[in-house]
Amino acid sequence: MDEAKGWLLDVYADQDVGIVLWLLTDDDQRLRLRMDIAATFYAAGDFVLLRQAWIYLKDKDVKLERTTRHDLFLGERDVLAVTTSNLSNLPKLFTGLSRQFPALDYYDVDIPLSLRFIAHTNMHLLGRCQVMLDGEWVKAIEPLDSPWEFDPAPIPLRILTLSPDINPSIRKPISLRVQYKQKEYSLQLEPTRTFMIGLKADLKRLDPDLILTDYGDTWLFPQLKMWSEQSGIDLNPNRDQNKEILTRRADSYFAYGQVIYRGAQAHLFGRWHIDRHNAMSFGEYGLEGAMEQARVTGLGVQEMARKSPGAGITAMQMFTALRNNVMVPVQKQQVEGTKTLAELIRADHGGLIYQPIIGLHTNVAQIDFSSMYPAIMVKHNISPETVGKENAPEGLVPRTLRPLLEKRLGLKNILSVLDPRDCRADILKARAAALKWLLVVCFGYLGYKNARFGKIESHEAVTATSRELMLLAKEVAEDMGFTVLHMYVDCLFVQQEGFRWPSDFTPLMETIVDKTGIPIAMEGVFKWVAFLSSKRDARVPVPNQYFGAFQDGSIKYRGIELRRRDTTLWVRKIQLGVLEILASADTPQEWAECVPDVHAFVEHAKHKLKAGRVPHEELIVRQKLSRALDGYKSPSPAARAALQLQAIGREIAPGQSVQFLFTRGGSGVQAWELGEALVPGSVDTKRYCALLDRAIRTVLDPCKPLCISERLL
Amino acid sequence: MGRTVITITQQLNETESMLSCFRRTLRRSDQYIFDGLFASARRHIAAIGQAESLLPFESAMLAMLLEQSKEIAVLQQKLEELMAKNG
Amino acid sequence: MNILPVLKTGKLIVVYAPGAACQESMTLIAELGLRGAVTIMDGGNRYRPYQVTMMLRRKTVDVTTAANRLFSRRAFTCYEMNTLLWSTPPLSQPYVILDMLNTFYDDHIPVNESCRLLKSCLSQINRLQLSAPVVITLAPPLVEERAFLVEQVCERADQVLTLEVSSPQITQPALF
């Protein structure tokens, strides 16, 4: 028997029996291996129906067994266990069975293959392992590290980057830029045959582990298929040549109060494909973050790069259930308990949100509870099956979150003492950000309608506990002489005369941790922070809009135009420039003295705009279509731009963003992706100046005289 | 996901809308003060929510009284300072 | 629209209106709450607790007692609606099921599965009808291809009350 050591890159169902694994070995080989593994799912319910289901399945090449398994809410259940080694056939098998017997309850049907593999072998994706081989067959696999290590050995991936010379939705690309290690060159797309021969040769020669693309999902891979047919050159970008590209079509769906658009997808086998323009949070934490999520969730890198963190948390919960012999239902069974009207009003609340004291405040500390909601779930054992129960054993959700929380806090601690110039800093930051997003969504999934183990009462228990902890923290701060200027779900803004350095606030933080049991961290001490008022009524504070400058001069802002995706780059740049001017002030007096400089800066910016010296790219407005075009009674600017695109044959689906400029005359907009040059002088400078004025009014808001109460008390 | 009962902010907005005829009939100068009452209530949305009252407007009116009391206290303080200054 | 007079044990009343007759159903719930206990099942996020308490307050100072007689549960998927109905015991207090079909229009649920679940829900409603009156409110279907679900519910009803929204008319302001 041979053995090999290396990193586990990919796992998927084989054609017939078992699974395929790809190992990146220590001696830089890429091995395609196979492993025997079976999958079992369960059916429960009426005995007569189960008997009939048994008869139906008898000749379907599966192993059948009557047994007892644990349902998280219903306890032990008599089930029909159905085991198959043909994992690729499992979905079809289940579809046939559920069509015949829809009234039965089904479990463990749609567990991702990678999770079944990890539960079976204890070997996580992207982890190092040692395998015992008999030819291509894996006989034993031993993990050599853990997904919870802070700094696992880096994987020596071969990364090939492919990007067209232009966004294909604007104009037809002429060439494809190819980057590999330090080399970079272009392949002309025509003649097609020459291009296909060249690309095929490059893929074979470079044999990348990851193909990173721009518009690969929505343009390159669909085009490759067409070009292959046209040119007669067969190009299969999979490393596993037995497989075709796995494609998923584009989709618009309604979630969280808005329409979300998901582009088409192209997944590879034996290597990964990630489209940087179609990867959900790739912009925030990049490849390292996507790999970290794959490592801890058990879903492949290609999946995690494209899916929301919610899919990752669901996978983690499924895995915890598998490892603890809890069945994962296909459909959520549990429903809300009965509540009186008073109980409903009491329970249905979110986090505690204060209304801040409007105006400019100096020497204000922002202290944040670290991953508050997950920490509450773990500390107070809040899980759908434990909520409302005294002394319950650790629930499924806290058991899932505990190692995730520990790793995220551990990474944050390492980063807090790491020299920012350390080459590991960016990688560790990306991993911490990726884990943060998993933790952020885990709370939402407690109450999510489609969450397998979701239950609204556990969602409500978390928010109730969080409100209580915030009130405790407020009381501690006030007992210690602080003024609480603002509170927002998991953070407090506090101030006390004579307190201006982070160390001044340490006793407060220690007391809060002592009282609440939840870790808290100092975000920073603002030399000044401005809490803003409503544009509708200046007497009404706005809880989620503020900006300020820390002691070191760095700026933080929330809720203002700078943070909004529909603000043009030009307005964002000017607003940021204004904040940088204001950040030089240390006191309210100096702040007020900066205002003339601000006005001069803004006037200069407007002058440049009117003189035509602002690049059009900086004036692009980006807005989403909230509905299909024929659903608009009076089309919004985005809808008008989408109509222009529709006229040239481009369809924009609800939830997709449209980019446009405001123009004088006509429909008042020009869609950016028309690719047409703007007529000189057609930019609606008046409209853009109005947008800028609005953004500048936001940051000069604290100049307005305060009402009597704030000024004298 | 999960929350279905309207927020206190939305509830206060609805109550304000229900009083739109009342507001409309007021003189413009009185409308400003009337709006100020709701602004006062909005400063204490968190407390109104925490009160978990079946009739949140009762708690909102308490918040309006609270803000009025604060203004009176400030004016009293200023008056005392002025009187002390002028002997 | 006054639904109270037609409520009787053994009867299923369907109210079909835009917005699933939200305003009218809150009025009904408040009126029933003044008289005794009510079971409310909310299938479309139509329950307005604060609106109900304000209506109660107009008729009684003891809002708390009436409010404590209003028992509700929410369903966020058609599977949950089915489970809600299966797990509801037969009680001699009216049942009000708000916007029952809202979750059945989810295009991630195959049509035949929607049908199967609706059939199961209706069988449970038959069971509950034996002990108390049942009122179901329905809104116009979200997707045309599932409009037949509305018909299936209405076919089972003893009475269907339809509320049309009158279009705003131009009226001359009164002189006096």
Instruction: Look at A331 and C79 and tell me if their CB atoms are within 8 Å.
Output: yes
Secondary structure tally for chain C: helices H, strands E: 6, 6
pLDDT in tens, A57-83: 999 999 999 999 999 999 999 999 999
Residue A558: helix, strand or coil by DSSP?
Answer: strand
Using CB atoms, list chains with 3+ pairs below 8 Å to chain C. A, B
CB-based contact, A103 to chain B, within 8 Å: no
Question: What range does the domain containing C16 cover?
Answer: 4-162
What own/partner pairs with CB < 8 Å and gap ≥ 24 does A143-149 have?
Answer: A144/A5, A147/A295, A147/A296, A148/A296, A148/A403, A148/A406, A148/A407
Digits of tens for pLDDT over chain B (87 positions)?
468 899 999 999 999 999 999 999 999 999 999 999 999 999 999 999 999 999 999 999 999 999 999 999 999 999 999 999 997
Instruction: Look at C77 and A344 and tell me if their CB atoms are within 8 Å.
Output: no
pLDDT higher than threshold 80 for residue A704: no
Is the residue at B61 inside a domain? yes
pLDDT higher than threshold 80 for residue C56: yes
Using CB atoms, list chains with 3+ pairs below 8 Å to chain B. A, C
Site of tokens 């505990």:
A402
Q: Which residues of C touch A450 (CB under 8 A)?
A: 77
Give the pLDDT score at A572. Answer: 96
Check: CB of residue A557 under 8 Å from CB of residue A547.
yes
Is the residue at B29 inside a domain? yes
Q: How far is C21 from chain A (nearest CA, A)?
A: 20
Give the pLDDT score at C93. Answer: 95
Q: Of B36, B46, B75, which is closest to A539 when you measure between CB atoms?
A: B36
Cα–Cα distance measured from residue A583 to residue A494, given in angstroms and rounded to the nearest whole number: 20
Give the pLDDT score at A709. Answer: 36
Q: What percent of chain C has pLDDT over 90?
A: 81
Give the pLDDT score at C168. Answer: 55
Average pLDDT of span A687-707 = 83
Check: CB of residue A582 under 8 Å from CB of residue A591.
yes
- C115: its two tokens: 């049908």
Is the residue at C128 inside a domain? yes
Q: Which of A256, A258, A346, A353 to mutate to test the interface with B (most CBs of B within 10 A)?
A: A353
pLDDT higher than threshold 60 for residue A706: no
Cα–Cα distance measured from residue A384 to residue A456, given in angstroms and rounded to the nearest whole number: 8
CB-based contact, A446 to chain B, within 8 Å: yes
pLDDT in tens, B30-48: 999 999 999 999 999 999 9
Q: Of A354, A444, A712, which is closest to B1 when you measure between CB atoms?
A: A444
Instruction: Look at A338 and C69 and tell me if their CB atoms are within 8 Å.
Output: no
pLDDT in tens, A613-649: 999 999 999 998 888 888 788 888 999 999 999 888 8
Cα–Cα distance measured from residue A568 to residue A582, given in angstroms and rounded to the nearest whole number: 21
Least-confidence region, from C2-11, C32-41, C129-138? C2-11
pLDDT higher than threshold 60 for residue A708: no
Alpha carbon C120 to its chain centroid, in Å, reads 18
pLDDT in tens, A356-405: 999 999 999 999 999 999 999 999 999 999 998 889 999 999 999 999 99
CA neighbor of A709 nearest in space, from B44, B77, B49, B45: B77
Least-confidence region, from A167-171, A254-258, A660-664? A254-258
Give the pLDDT score at A326. Answer: 96
Instruction: Quote ipTM for the complex.
Output: 0.92
Q: What percent of chain A has pLDDT over 70?
A: 97
Alpha carbon A661 to its chain centroid, in Å, reads 29
Size of interface B-C (CB pairs under 8 A): 23
Considering only alpha carbons, which residue of chain A is nearest residue C50?
A: A345
Is the residue at B3 inside a domain? no
Q: How far is B54 from chain C (nearest CA, A)?
A: 6
Instruction: Look at B45 and A355 and tell me if their CB atoms are within 8 Å.
Output: yes
Length of chain B: 87
pLDDT higher than threshold 90 for residue A94: yes
Give the pLDDT score at B57. Answer: 96
Q: How far is B87 from chain C (nearest CA, A)?
A: 53
Q: Which of A332, A340, A345, A706 to mutate to test the interface with B (most CBs of B within 10 A)?
A: A345
pLDDT in tens, A556-607: 999 999 988 889 999 999 999 999 999 999 988 898 899 999 999 999 999 9
Instruction: Look at C53 and B6 and tell me if their CB atoms are within 8 Å.
Output: no
Instruction: Give all domains of chain A, ordered by start, each with its CATH number.
Output: 2-143 (3.30.342), 343-387+455-559 (3.90.1600.10), 616-682 (3.40.1820.20)
Instruction: Look at C64 and A345 and tell me if their CB atoms are within 8 Å.
Output: no
| β-pairing verdict for C38-42 and A669-671 | unpaired
Instruction: Look at A341 and C67 and tell me if their CB atoms are within 8 Å.
Output: yes
pLDDT higher than threshold 80 for residue A675: no
How many structural domains is chain B composed of? 1
| β-pairing verdict for A19-25 and A2-13 | antiparallel
pTM above 0.80, yes or no: yes
Instruction: Look at A460 and B71 and tell me if their CB atoms are within 8 Å.
Output: no
Instruction: Look at C49 and B55 and tell me if their CB atoms are within 8 Å.
Output: no
Instruction: Look at C50 and B4 and tell me if their CB atoms are within 8 Å.
Output: no
Give the pLDDT score at A688. Answer: 96
**Which C residues in the span 68-97 are in contact with B, Cβ-Cβ below 8 Å?**
74, 76
The domain spanning residue C91 has which CATH number?
3.40.50.300
Instruction: Look at B4 and C57 and tell me if their CB atoms are within 8 Å.
Output: no
Q: Which residues of A touch C33 (CB under 8 A)?
A: 341
Mean pLDDT of chain A: 91
pLDDT higher than threshold 90 for residue C86: yes
CB-based contact, A572 to chain B, within 8 Å: no
Residue C118: helix, strand or coil by DSSP?
Answer: helix
Is the residue at C88 inside a domain? yes
pLDDT higher than threshold 50 for residue A711: no
Average pLDDT of span C43-62 = 96
Q: Which stretches within A136-217 are classed as H helix?
A: 192-206
Question: What range does the domain containing B12 cover?
Answer: 8-85
φ and ψ at A91, to 5 degrees? -60, -40
Per-residue confidence band for A710, with pLDDT thresholds at 50, 70 and 90: very low
Is the residue at C172 inside a domain? no
How many structural domains is chain C composed of? 1
Tell me the residue type at A570. Answer: W
Instruction: Look at A337 and C73 and tell me if their CB atoms are within 8 Å.
Output: yes
Q: Which residues of C touch B54 (CB under 8 A)?
A: 50, 53, 63-64, 67
Q: Of A102, A334, A337, which is closest to C113 when you measure between CB atoms?
A: A102
pLDDT in tens, A201-248: 999 999 999 999 999 999 999 999 899 998 999 999 999 998 999 998
Length of chain A: 713
Per-residue confidence band for C173, with pLDDT thresholds at 50, 70 and 90: low
Cα–Cα distance measured from residue A517 to residue A372, given in angstroms and rounded to the nearest whole number: 11
Give the pLDDT score at A707. Answer: 35
Considering only alpha carbons, which residue of chain A is nearest residue B32?
A: A537
Instruction: Look at C73 and A336 and tell me if their CB atoms are within 8 Å.
Output: yes
Q: How far is CA B55 from CA A212, A342, B62, C70, in A?
A: 57, 10, 12, 16
Considering only alpha carbons, which residue of chain B is nearest residue A340?
A: B54
Cα–Cα distance measured from residue C93 to residue A2, given in angstroms and rounded to the nearest whole number: 73
The strand pairing partners of A369, in sequence order, are A520
pLDDT higher than threshold 70 for residue C167: no
Cα–Cα distance measured from residue C161 to residue C152, given in angstroms and rounded to the nearest whole number: 15
Using CB atoms, list chains with 3+ pairs below 8 Å to chain A. B, C
Q: Of B6, B14, B54, which is closest to C53 when you measure between CB atoms?
A: B54
Instruction: Look at B46 and A355 and tell me if their CB atoms are within 8 Å.
Output: yes
